[in-house]
Homo-oligomer: A and B are copies of this chain.
Amino acid sequence: MKVLVIGANGQVGKHVIDKLIDNNHEAIAMIRNTDQIPYFEERGASTVIADLEKDFKHAFYGVDAVIFAAGSGPHTSADKTIMIDQEGAIKSMKIAENFGIKRFVMLSSMAANRPEIGPETLRHYLYAKGRADAYLRGTTLDYTIVRPGGLTNDKGTGNIKINEHLNEFGSIPREDVAQVLVQTLQSPQTVKQSYDLVSGSTKIDQAL
């Protein structure tokens, strides 16, 4: 599959690129700066220069699936939360629909579907992510929404706990999150599903 990774230069995005290539997909890294090109080309990914705050539909030509892994991050100024996490995501969905690209995998965040239980400092971020996720559920896309717990830079274990709703707040290495996002492309039963995700004891390919 030819897969566009939006937010490829992010901490999860870079792992997503690697996992796509490991799984014999054609990875296209959507990036903002030309100086990021060599990093991705060395890994065997192609690149497209585009900016979520501008017109970026050229990035979608010929694409089979989209993984949205962009994030302004919960600690950036909140105008970026609106522009990137919420509106950038919604614009990506609209472009995918217009281009007839059905498969859309969204990296969300645990508690995005219930911001009121999130910490107050993150609440605006969770609302924005939740608003984008809600929009996605209303589209005609074959979506999968993945809401991981706290992200760590630990090496992936390949073992997860994933469910439509988890009661505990756990953490999970970014590498494992990336593997889950890529694995959903090979798991048709994940279409039109939303999941909470933390580290656990089930192998990723068995869990999905």
- Taken residue by residue from 48 to 90, chain A's Cβ proximity to chain B (1 for < 8 Å, 0 otherwise) reads as 0000000000000000000000000000011111110011000
With a CB–CB cut-off of 8 A, which chain B residues contact A123? 79, 83
Interface residue A127 (Cβ < 8 Å from any Cβ of B)? yes
Residues in B with CB closer than 8 Å to A136 are none
Q: Which residue of B lies closest to A135 (CB)?
A: B131
Contact B78 A127 (CB under 8 A): no
Which residues of chain B have C-beta atoms less than 8 A from A161's C-beta? none
A199 CB, nearest partner CB in chain B, Å: 29
Q: How far is the CB of A127 from chain B (nearest CB, A)?
A: 5
- What 0/1 pattern do residues 76 to 113 of A give for CB contact below 8 A with B? 01111111001100000000000000000000000000
| A128 located at the interface, meaning its Cβ lies under 8 Å from any Cβ of chain B in the complex | yes
- Interface core residue of A78, A81, A86 (most chain B CB under 10 Å): A78
Question: How far does the Cβ of A171 sit from chain B's closest Cβ, in whole Å?
Answer: 24
A124 within 8 A of B: yes
User: How far, in angstroms, from A131 to B125 measured CA to CA in the complex?
Assistant: 15
CA distance A77 to B123 in the complex (A): 14
Which residues from chain B contact A78 at a C-beta distance below 8 Å?
77-82, 124
The CA of A49 and the CA of B99, in the complex, are separated in Å by 49
Complex Cα distance A79/B125, Å?
8
How many angstroms between the C-alpha atoms of A78 and B76 in the bound complex? Answer: 10
Find A83's partner among B80, B83, B124 (CB 8 Å cutoff).
Answer: B124
**Centre residue among A77, A125, A131 by max chain B CB count within 10 A:** A131
The residues of A with any CB-CB pair to B shorter than 8 Å are 77-83, 86-87, 115, 123-125, 127-128, 131
Known: A82-B127, A131-B131. 15 other contacts (CB 8 A): A77-B78, A78-B78, A78-B81, A78-B82, A78-B124, A79-B81, A79-B123, A79-B124, A82-B82, A82-B124, A82-B128, A83-B123, A83-B124, A87-B115, A87-B127
